[in-house]
Amino acid sequence: MQTLPPWPYPHLVAHRGAGTLAPENTLAAMRVGASFGYKMVEFDAKLSQDQVAILLHDAELDRTTNGRGKAADQPYAALAKLDAGLWFSAAFRGEPIPTLEAVARYTLSHNIASNIEIKPTPGLEGLTGTAIARQAKHDWHGASVPPLLSSFSLAALEAAQQEAPTLPRGWITSKLDENWRQTLRRLGCVSIHLHHLLLNEALLNDIHAGGFRVAAWTVNDPTRAATLLRWGVDSVITDALDLISAE
């Protein structure tokens, strides 16, 4: 059995800042997550046209802002004027799309750990992986707990590995093939992030025996979360901050 890498992260992680309790991927969501006692947030990062790292899940702006089209087609100066809160409720009217730099300042000042999901606009995987890793390396320089860089995109993780080899990386996948160990080793990952329904105790033990940590997403049932944590899952990513206590 291989030795597991250090895991300085909490067992519970707030999905997209505050799950479904605030407009996802905003500083408002981070504040709501913190109000529930969560000490780690997961969020999605991609690039504007002029390569400013911003928080946004979709390639398009339409679902979570009052903008239209792809974020990658607009400079940050235009994106900064959009409303990323009103779609959720009037209480969040005027909430902007945050930069990764702003999120780093907030999380570091509040002692909150970060899981940065590199979420490239299709076609920009390598560029995004490099830019996000470079920004994270700069913004979290000297932090006692480094940000965890994760992605579904192998190309983005490869680029992040080259740009910031000392930052921990996790591969997100919704399925496991027979080469999963080789993929994790090739990318220098410390963890694999699996949809929670893929996990059972035997698989978890197998992954741990291979020397990798495990994060499970997105777990919104308290009983399921308790089961996964009892098995030894390293982190559970959840929307249900109001149901799954961080205490």
- Give tens-digit pLDDT for 213-231: 999 999 999 999 999 999 9
Using pLDDT thresholds of 50, 70 and 90, give the confidence band for residue 1: low
Distance from chain centroid for Cα 94: 24
Binned at pLDDT 50, 70 and 90, residue 19 comes out as confident
Is 205 a member of any domain? Answer: yes
Q: pLDDT tens digits, residue range 91-138?
A: 999 999 999 999 999 999 999 999 999 999 999 999 999 999 999 999
Does this model's pTM top 0.95? My answer is yes
HEC profile of 186-222: HCCCCEEEEEHHHCCHHHHHHHHHCCCEEEEECCCCH
| Confidence band, pLDDT 50/70/90 cuts, at residue 56 | very high
3 state SS of 27: helix
Which of 99, 101, 103 is closest to 75 using CA atoms? 99
Cβ count near 218 (within 10 Å): 16
**Is 57 a known active-site residue?**
yes
Q: Is 181's pLDDT higher than 70?
A: yes
Q: Are 190 and 208 in contact (CB under 8 A)?
A: no
Residue 82 in any domain: the answer is no
Q: Is position 141 annotated as part of the catalytic site?
A: no
> What is the rounded CA–CA span in Å between residue 231 and residue 227?
6
Amino acid at 25: N
Residue 169's pLDDT band (boundaries 50, 70, 90)?
A: very high
> What CATH number has the domain bearing residue 148?
3.20.20.190
Residue 83: inside a domain: no
Of 11, 15, 138, 141, the catalytic one is 15
Band the pLDDT of 2: cuts 50, 70, 90: confident
Q: Can you tell me the distance from the alpha carbon of 143 to that of 149, in angstroms, rounded to the nearest whole number?
A: 14
Q: Using CA atoms, how far apart are residues 241 and 247, in angstroms rounded to an integer? A: 11
Instruction: Indicate the pLDDT class of residue 201, thresholds 50, 70 and 90.
Output: very high
Both tokens of residue 127? 């560029």
Residues counted in the chain: 247
Whether 210 is covered by a domain: the verdict is yes
pLDDT, tens digit (0-9, with 9 covering 90-100), for 60-89: 999 999 999 999 999 999 999 999 999 999
Does 3 map to a domain?
Answer: no
As a whole-number percent, the residues of the chain with pLDDT over 90 amount to 98
The tokens describing 77, both together, are: 């100066």
Number of domains making up the chain: 1
Domain range enclosing 209: 12-57+99-238
Average pLDDT, rounded, for the chain: 97
Which of the four pLDDT bands, split at 50, 70 and 90, describes residue 247?
confident
Q: Flag whether 20 is in a domain.
A: yes
Residue 147 in 3-state DSSP? coil
Instruction: Say how far apart CA 32 and CA 189 lie, in whole Å.
Output: 30
- Domain assignment present for residue 63? The answer is no
* Contacts for 169 with CB less than 8 Å, ≥ 6 apart: 148, 149, 150, 157, 160, 161, 187, 188, 189, 190, 191
Residue 7 inside a domain? The answer is no
